[in-house]
Amino acid sequence: MTLLARIVGRLFAEATVPRHGQSGDPRARWTPTHRHRKGGEYRVLGHGLLETDRSDVVIYDDADGTIWVRPVAEFYDGRFEALAQDQAWRLSARAR
């Protein structure tokens, strides 16, 4: 297991978040905030620090509940496009 995977696992170990679409799932209204240039849609959960070198990271997930971590410089270098709030709402409504 990589160091980054251990850090993220520890970060979310206490939060048991069910997968999207499960009954009683509070994530059922998952709304994307960004679209990757290759087409995937993601929601930014927050920002954090990588333990090893204290570099800034973006923590985000997809509609399936997979949690991702990427350096801030990579996230905001044009790979991801911020979705307008009304556009994000329409995308999430289409997924329901």
Q: What is the DSSP letter of 84?
A: P
What the block records as the tokens of 7 is 């850090």
Does 24 reside within a domain? Answer: no
Does 85 reside within a domain? Answer: yes
Question: How sure is the predictor about 84, in pLDDT bands with cuts at 50, 70 and 90?
Answer: confident
Which residues make Cβ contacts (< 8 Å) with residue 72, sequence separation at least 6? Answer: 47, 55, 56, 57, 58
Does 82 reside within a domain? Answer: yes
Mean pLDDT of 48-76: 96
Does 83 reside within a domain? Answer: yes
pLDDT at residue 65 is higher than 90: yes
pLDDT of 85-96, one tens digit each?
A: 655 555 555 554
Looking at residue 62, what is its pLDDT?
A: 96
pLDDT at residue 52 is higher than 50: yes
pLDDT at residue 20 is higher than 80: no
Does 22 reside within a domain? Answer: no
Does 19 reside within a domain? Answer: no
Looking at residue 28, what is its pLDDT?
A: 59
Name the domain count of the chain: 1
Domain of 71? Answer: 1-13+42-96
What the block records as the tokens of 61 is 């997930």
